[in-house]
Amino acid sequence: MLGFEIKYSDRLFFCEALLMVDSYAIFFNNKYVAEIAYDAAAGWVQTNGTLLPHSTIEEIGAHIDGQLD
């Protein structure tokens, strides 16, 4: 599991990304919010959960990829 802080909806959350079989379950402050997966053609995409802005999905994906600390 990967954990980091993220700003969403003008609030700061502790975000956790839990690796599943083909995707990541995303939690904000220990509450499930979404599932994201990497698609070679489209990049990081949301596959389930509360609709998140694309910029938030990309930021989470960048943390997963190790581009952000």
* Model confidence pLDDT, tens digit, residues 6-53: 999 999 999 999 999 999 999 999 999 999 999 999 999 999 999 999
Domains in the chain: boundaries: 2-65
Residue 10 carries which DSSP code?
T
pTM: 0.92
Number of helices and strands in the chain (H, E)? 1, 5
**Residue 4 DSSP SS3:** strand
Q: Which of 34, 41, 44 is nearest to 67 (CA)?
A: 44
Distances (CA, A) of 2 to 10, 42, 52, 53, 55: 22, 22, 19, 20, 19
